Amino acid sequence: MRYILIAILAIVSILAGKIYFNPPEIYNAEKLFEEKNLKFAFVGDIMLDRDVEKKILKEGAGDFRFPFLNIADKLSGYDFLFGNLEGPVSVDEGINSGSAISFRFDPRVLEGLEFAGFDALSVANNHSGDRGGKVFRDTLLNLESAGIKAVGASLEPVVFDFESLRVEIVGFADFPGPGARATAANIVEALGKARSKADIVIASFHFGEEYHPEPSERQRELAQLAVDSGADLVIGHHPHVSQSLEKYKDAYIAYSLGNFIFDQYFSEETMRGALLEVEIKDGKISGVKTREIKLNSNYQPSLVD
C-alpha cells in the first residue's frame, strides 16, 4: 500500500510541473580526465530485490550480471567505483523489521556487483537493517568475500590507497538503522579522524526527502558540516531522483545521484539518475561532472551520452 501511495504522490508532483532531473553539471571541464589522472565514479541507489530480481530470473535467465550488462564496459574505465546498496545481502530471510517495504538480496547479486566493478558500497541507509542484525552482519561478510568494502557500517573511515594517494571514506544515514547515524557529533568525529591521515576525504550521506528535486535545508546543513569537518567530496542518495551538484568552499557536494538500479517504474524521473565523475590530479580533486543515466524496462542502467 505504501509503495502505491508513493507512486501516486510522485505522479501528482510530475503533473504539477515539477522536474526531477538536473541536467549534467561540470566544474573545471577543460581539465577533466587526462589519461594520467585517476578517475573515480559514484552512483546512487542500487536495489536488487522485488521486480529487479524477477527481471533477472526471467529476462536474464538467472544471470545476476544482467542488470549491469549495458553499462559495465563504461564502468570499467574508472579507477574507483562507489554506490549505495539499498538493502542487505544474505541467504537468511531474517526478521522483517516491520516496514511495509523490506528488502533482502540473494547473495548471487554479488556476481553482478563484482562484474560491474564496485570497489565500495554504502550500507548506511534506511533499508540495510530491514531483516535484522544478523542479516546485516551477513551483508558485511558477503561484501568482504566479494572484495567490496562496506562503507558506513561504523564511524571508522574506510581506507583506499592508490600508490602515494590515500583516500578515506565515511558513510552516514540520516535515518534509524544499523549503520552510522548522521549526527553532528558523529560527522565531526569521523571526518576529523579521516582528515588527519588522508589526502582526500569523502563523505557519503543517505539523506533528504524522496522525490524532491531540490535538496532540503537539512541536507545542506549536513553536507556543509561535512565539508567544514574535512570532507573534499560529499555524495548523497535516498531521494530516488537527481538533485544539484554544487561547490562549497573548496569541496564538491552532489546532494542526490538518484536511482542507479531500482524498479520505480511509475515515473520517468525515477527511471533516471546521475553518475558523478571525479578526477584526481596531483593528490587533489581537479574537476567533477555528472553524466545522465537511464533505466530501461528491465531496470538496466546505461549512460545517455
Residue 153 pLDDT: 98
Average pLDDT over residues 31-50: 87
pLDDT reported for residue 34: 64
The grid coordinates of residue 251 equal: 569541496
- Please tell me the predicted confidence (pLDDT) of residue 33: 54
Are the beta carbons of 226 and 106 closer than 8 angstroms?
no
Q: Is the pLDDT of residue 293 over 80?
A: yes
251-254 vs 245-248, strand pairing mode: antiparallel
| Region for 195 from its dihedrals, namely left if φ exceeds 0, alpha if ψ lies in -120 to 50, beta otherwise | alpha
Chain-centroid distance of CA 55 in Å reads 22
Which three cell numbers mark 214?
531540490
pLDDT given for residue 100 in this prediction:
74
Residue 21 has pLDDT above 80, yes or no: no
Distance CA 257, CA 38 (A): 21
Does the pLDDT value for residue 120 go beyond 90? yes
Which pLDDT does position 5 carry in this prediction? 45
Q: 16 or 255: which carries more pLDDT confidence? A: 255
Per-residue pLDDT at 80: 98
At residue 99 the predicted structure's pLDDT band, cuts being 50, 70 and 90, is confident
Average pLDDT over residues 138-160: 98
Mention every residue, 6+ apart, whose C-beta is less than 8 A from residue 147: 114
User: What's the pLDDT at 195?
Assistant: 98
> Which residue did the predictor score with more confidence, 10 or 20?
10
Cell match 561540470: residue?
A: 26
| DSSP code per residue over 250-267 | TEEEE--BBEEE---TT-
pLDDT at 152: 98
- Residue type for position 200: I
Res. 28: pLDDT tops 70 = no
The reported pLDDT for the residue numbered 165 is 97
Domain that holds residue 286: 2-303
Please name the residue that has the C-alpha cell 528491465: 298
Residue 7 scores a pLDDT above 60: no
d(CA 116, CA 112): 6
Overall domain count for the chain: 1
Calculate the CA 240 to chain-centre distance: 10
Compute CA distances 283 → 37, 167, 193, 201, 289, whole Å. 10, 10, 19, 11, 18
User: In the structure, what pLDDT confidence band is assigned to residue 8 with cuts at 50, 70 and 90?
Assistant: very low
Given a cut of 60, whether residue 92 has pLDDT beyond it is yes
Question: Which phi and psi angles does 161 have, rounded to 5°?
Answer: -110, 125
pLDDT on residue 6: 45
Per mean pLDDT, which range of 5-14, 116-125, 243-252 is the poorest?
A: 5-14
Cell of 244: 544539484
Residue 239 has pLDDT above 60, yes or no: yes
304 has a pLDDT exceeding 60: yes
Alpha-carbon 118 to chain mean position: 11
Return the half-sphere exposure (C-beta side, CA atoms, 13 A cut-off) of residue 293. 34
- C-alpha distances in Å from residue 80, one per residue of 20, 118, 227, 260, 276: 27, 7, 21, 16, 12
* Measured CA distances, 60 to 65, 69, 107, 112 (Å): 8, 10, 16, 12
Closest CA to 86 of 76, 99, 74, 95: 99
CATH number at residue 204: 3.60.21.10
- Residue 168 · residue 157 · CB < 8 Å: yes
Dihedral angle at the C-alpha atoms of 259, 263, 268, 270, nearest 10 degrees?
-30
User: Are 237 and 84 a contacting pair, CB within 8 Å?
Assistant: yes
